[in-house]
Structure 1
Amino acid sequence: MYDPTRLAALVAVAEAGSITRAAERLGYTPPALSQQLAKLEREAGATLLVRSHRGTRLTGAGELLVARARRVLDEMERARHELAHLAGLSGGTLRVGTFQTAGIHLLPPVLSAFRRTYPDVELAVADYEPPAGVAAVAAGEVDLALTHTYEPAAPVAVPSSVSLEPVLVEELVLVTAPGHVLAGDSARLPLGELAGQPLISMAPNHPPRQGVEAALARAGATPAVLVETPVYALVCALVSAGLGVAVVPEMVARTAATPVGTRLLEPGDLRRTISVVHGTDETSPAADAFRALLRGTFERAGRHRPDN
């Protein structure tokens, strides 16, 4: 039996004329979408697409399968709409809280998938710098929120009315200016090697990071620039300009807008955990459906690595 997600990917490519444009529409990266299409070709036992510098076109087998796929997907859409109505997902508003990094890099494909599946539910997104999202869910300001915690850190009390479900655990990595001597090796860098290094510090007004900053201070890193608010884009820009080094989440380093060098640290116990916060007892069908899509999106992307 063909996977409906892969059938939808094939239809999207047929309509967009290229894998890149289809990936943008679906919220995938082009390599991830190519993998889905390759699996569909193996399931079909036939070549479905021909790629060229001008785009992507369907083979005869691809055209046949797209025609059938559209009918299948239309029926599934009708079924989703009817089931959503029965489950109370045919209207109302889902209020989602997020912090900046997650809102830019993690949330859009989940919201896109939710909108495709439940088009009658209105979406509202608000910004909450952690841990403010926890309080917002507890106060009923939003239905759920993405938040984060760092390790090492002092334990933070969580209201009994909310629960935190980890969805992503990532290491903190060193970022440097391009060509910096510390970034020129693929081996993990012992934390002690940061002794004497000028550090772009985010500790002053960011309690979640203070345990991490304390660990860096014990290793001998010397604060050179204090960033008063936790804006990672600014931190990476200062690092790129050669004003110091910094330790940031892996996702931040990978998506930095300014060129930086990166290196894993030893030991790899400086980490950030991203969690979804939701009500412990009273949750809406829309919030439950969103959490399921959130888990599925991280699993498909190979980024679902919670270990707590």
Structure 2
Amino acid sequence: MYDPTRLAALVAVAEAGSITRAAERLGYTPPALSQQLAKLEREAGAALLVRHHRGARLTDAGELLVARARRILDELDRARHELARLTGLAGGTLRLGTFPTAGIHLLPPVLAAFRRAHPDVELSVADHDPPHGVTAVAAGAVDLALTHAYHPAEPFPVPSSVRLEPVLVEELVLVTAPGHALSDGAARLPLSALAGQPLISMAPDHPARRGVESLLAAAGATPSVLVPTPGYAVVCALVSAGLGVAVVPEMVARTAVTPVGVRALEGGEMRRTILVAHRADEVAPAADAFRALLRGAFGRAHQV
């Protein structure tokens, strides 16, 4: 069965004429949209697009699928509107909390899909750095909050009224200045290679990062610059300027504004899980619909 999100991505490319323009329209990054299209081509068992220097065009198989996809998506839109009237999603509000990385790279495409499905629901988005988003959900200040948890780390307390649902898991990777010797190579880098390296230290006293910082210290990385709060854009800028190396989530590394070298680390023991926090045992059609879209966009993880 074809995923409607991927069908919508193909239609958007057909209408926009390029993956870049379609990604802007849908709120994706171009690499993220390309991944969705590659998955659709695997499902279809045929090439759907031909990329060229001015954009992308549909193959014959792509033309056929786009024609059917438009009909399918139109029917799904009608079904959503009819169901919204039945389930209480024809109005009301949805209040979301997020942190910067998720707000920039994960939230927009899901929020755009929610808006298309439920245009009458009023939306608001507020910044809540983890773990404050969980507190905001417990207090009723927001309906849902995107938050995160690091590994290794001590588990943070979660109010009994709140449930956490994993959205995706990403490894932490090494970022260096462009051309740095440690970024040269495709093999995973052993942590021992960080011995003596000047480290942009990501707030060792911050509960979320404490376990990660301990592993780096044990590997012999030498603190060079301390960033008191986990501001990844600043860290990547300092790394890019040659002030040291850092270990950051892969999503941060791949989308850094400043140029950095990226290297996967051996063992994969350092990682970050992005989660959505919601109130347990509460009837909230809009929040439930948004969580379902998150699961569809990023794959269902095990409940925690």
- Note closer, same or farther for the CA distance 1:215–1:94 as it changes in structure 2 (3 Å cut): same
The Cα of 1:195 is off from its aligned counterpart by 1.8
Deviations 1:117-147 (A, max 9, x none): 1111111111111100110000000001111
The equivalent residue for 1:91 is 91
Task: Tell me, in whole angstroms, the C-alpha distance in 1 between the residues paired with 2:252 and 2:214.
Answer: 21
Task: Tell me, in whole angstroms, the C-alpha distance in 2 between the residues paired with 1:20 and 1:263.
Answer: 26
Task: Tell me, in whole angstroms, the C-alpha distance in 1 between the residues paired with 2:257 and 2:113.
Answer: 26
Task: Tell me, in whole angstroms, the C-alpha distance in 1 between the residues paired with 2:81 and 2:17.
Answer: 28
Task: Tell me, in whole angstroms, the C-alpha distance in 2 between the residues paired with 1:27 and 1:13.
Answer: 13
The one-letter code of the counterpart of 2:281 is: D
The one-letter code of the counterpart of 1:86 is: L
Unaligned runs of 5+ in 1: none
Deviates further, 68-77 or 206-215 = 68-77
Q: Would the aligned equivalents of 2:89 and 2:286 in 1 still touch at CA under 8 Å?
A: yes
Task: Tell me, in whole angstroms, the C-alpha distance in 1 between the residues paired with 2:259 and 2:51.
Answer: 32
The equivalent residue for 1:267 is 267
The one-letter code of the counterpart of 2:297 is: T
1:35 aligns with 2:62: no
The equivalent residue for 1:232 is 232
The equivalent residue for 1:181 is 181
Q: Would the aligned equivalents of 2:197 and 2:221 in 1 still touch at CA under 8 Å?
A: yes
1:103 aligns with 2:106: no
> What's the secondary structure of 1:95's corresponding residue?
strand
The equivalent residue for 1:148 is 148
Deviations 1:48-81 (A, max 9, x none): 7776555556689877876665455333322211
> What's the secondary structure of 2:208's corresponding residue?
helix
Task: Tell me, in whole angstroms, the C-alpha distance in 2 between the residues paired with 1:190 and 1:51.
Answer: 37
1:26 aligns with 2:13: no
- Note closer, same or farther for the CA distance 1:170–1:3 as it changes in structure 2 (3 Å cut): closer
Unaligned runs of 5+ in 2: none
Deviations 1:170-208 (A, max 9, x none): 111111111212222222222222222111112255221
The one-letter code of the counterpart of 2:246 is: A
Deviations 1:220-242 (A, max 9, x none): 21111111221101001101111
> What's the secondary structure of 1:247's corresponding residue?
strand
Deviations 1:2-30 (A, max 9, x none): 76545544543443233432233234435
The equivalent residue for 1:247 is 247
Q: Would the aligned equivalents of 1:19 and 1:33 in 2 still touch at CA under 8 Å?
A: no
Q: Would the aligned equivalents of 1:205 and 1:229 in 2 still touch at CA under 8 Å?
A: no
The one-letter code of the counterpart of 2:135 is: A
> What's the secondary structure of 2:209's corresponding residue?
helix
Amino-acid identity (%): 74
1:169 aligns with 2:169: yes
The one-letter code of the counterpart of 1:32 is: Q
Task: Tell me, in whole angstroms, the C-alpha distance in 1 between the residues paired with 2:214 and 2:61.
Answer: 60
> What's the secondary structure of 1:207's corresponding residue?
coil
Task: Tell me, in whole angstroms, the C-alpha distance in 2 between the residues paired with 1:49 and 1:213.
Answer: 44
> What's the secondary structure of 1:189's corresponding residue?
coil
> What's the secondary structure of 1:168's corresponding residue?
strand
The Cα of 1:267 is off from its aligned counterpart by 2.7
Task: Tell me, in whole angstroms, the C-alpha distance in 2 between the residues paired with 1:218 and 1:134.
Answer: 31
The equivalent residue for 2:206 is 206
The Cα of 1:215 is off from its aligned counterpart by 1.6
Task: Tell me, in whole angstroms, the C-alpha distance in 2 between the residues paired with 1:194 and 1:50.
Answer: 42
- Note closer, same or farther for the CA distance 1:86–1:209 as it changes in structure 2 (3 Å cut): same
The equivalent residue for 1:132 is 132
Q: Would the aligned equivalents of 2:10 and 2:37 in 1 still touch at CA under 8 Å?
A: no
Which protein has the larger Cα radius of gyration, Structure 1 or Structure 2?
1
- Give the TM-score taking structure 2 as reference length: 0.87
Deviates further, 208-217 or 30-39 = 30-39
Deviations 1:246-300 (A, max 9, x none): 111111111111111122222321111111111111141111111110011113x
> What's the secondary structure of 2:110's corresponding residue?
helix
For these two proteins, the number of residue pairs brought into alignment is 301
